[in-house]
Structure 1
Amino acid sequence: MKQTLLLISIFLTLNLFGQKSDIENLINQVTKAEVPENFEYYFLVPKSLEQEKIVDSLQNYQIRELKIVDKDFPENFIYTQPRNETVNWKNYNLNKAKLVSDEYNYNHILSPPQTKKIKFVKYNIEQKKYDSLIENKEPYTLILKKKWLWNKKRIWNNKMLYADFVESWKMDDKNNPEETVYYHFSKPLFSENKKYAILSVFKQRRCNGNGFTGLYRNDNGIWNKVMEFNPISSETISTHIRCEEIKMIDYE
């Protein structure tokens, strides 16, 4: 009896390890196509998306096209009912992924924050030291030069300080594009033969987002996207100011 339980335990462990490896391999390949090349890393929301039911998403002609490409395409796979389960990506080895954390995002766990911290430094700071602070700053932090007499609480009333602030914000977004978008992935669904997979991808920016569900095919170890369906988009609306306006700050 003990030997039987041990064998079952070993089998389940190997199966879970294999599934984890399959998921990591798929997502690591998908991100190569979805994350811009100039990103040194990408922010990933730790909790996975819930995979939606896709039974009505593909049209009959699309399924026929799939069968033309692959006569053995498992049509029943499209009608698989996804389980209501999510995973925590911190348990997976995903290349270049930085998990969103409260340390950097002010509890905005689903989209990039609309605020940035401001760290003031002396206006006549040495350029080398200033450049070092910029290079080693925490995400969503601006390094702003300020003269001693300038009131840091009244940026909007000081034309020179405000101009420097706006320019600093824009340059920060340009130099750190990774901070402008959060990625969301669902837990993939695999066909029985592991040749096909379904994965939902969503890219959330400060003011808008877009995503899709993709059908992927494994061609000799390379996951290629066959088609997209279930397109989705989002938009952030404020009652007082436009989302794009630079008017939200936090002082360090």
Structure 2
Amino acid sequence: MKYTRSLYLALLILTCTLTSSLKATPDFDHKIYKSSKGQSLNYRIHLPESMDSTKQYPLVLFFHGAGERGNDNNKQLIHGTKDILAYSKKSNAPVIIVAPQCPSGAQWVNTPWRKLSHTMPIEPSNSMRLMIELLNKSIKELPVDKTRIYVTGLSMGGYGTWDIIQRHPEIFAAAIPICGGGDTALASKLTATPIWAFHGDKDNVVKTIRSKDMINAITDAGGYPKYTEYKGVKHNSWSKTYANKDVLKWLFNQKKIEVKPLQ
């Protein structure tokens, strides 16, 4: 009887855990993007309830960090995405959210994260290339408001955010890169893009100077980026950022005047 009861409790706990896990992300559908060359990229997508094809919706592209890489197509939703969705629902402002998952061992940008600078690779990483293809597909097939396409990401995803707006500044209405870094030599391409970067001043993974250098370079080139540095904060500068309704309000208030096709 004791063994049976223990087994029952174990199964009950397992069932509750699995149920909780399934309930944790009901707003995001599992999807797999497959390229014309047979390569694939896992991603999750949130579409507005009762989506009306005659209307247009803002799209947020989300780049997760290194700890959320894998092939479970779930871990990329641990940080950020739920905050963005919660703000959308509370504001009664439906949004499309696309959250890809970078495979284990791969990167959004092929550069060491601890370096104090890097030159953007001529070709995007394989994961970034697939993400750009997925974004292009989403814009073509979904009722996306092309004047309100946003991108944000943290840590490895902060690098990804800088990388994609450097490659395609013509697409994004605004960007929020968190504890990442970009190529300062390309700052002049970003002067017209509303950017609000965040970093912790005690970050021991991605040096704070990576965000500072990008902000200073864009400012020197004639842009007006925003920058927030959290005092006493180490690498996790994303929790406070995504939980800040004023930050998300700023993001969704941005609108692109001139829209160009994705190259």
Relative to the length of structure 1, the TM-score reads: 0.30
Relative to the length of structure 2, the TM-score reads: 0.29
Of Structure 1 and Structure 2, the greater strand share is in: 1
User: Which has the higher Rg, Structure 1 or Structure 2?
Assistant: 1
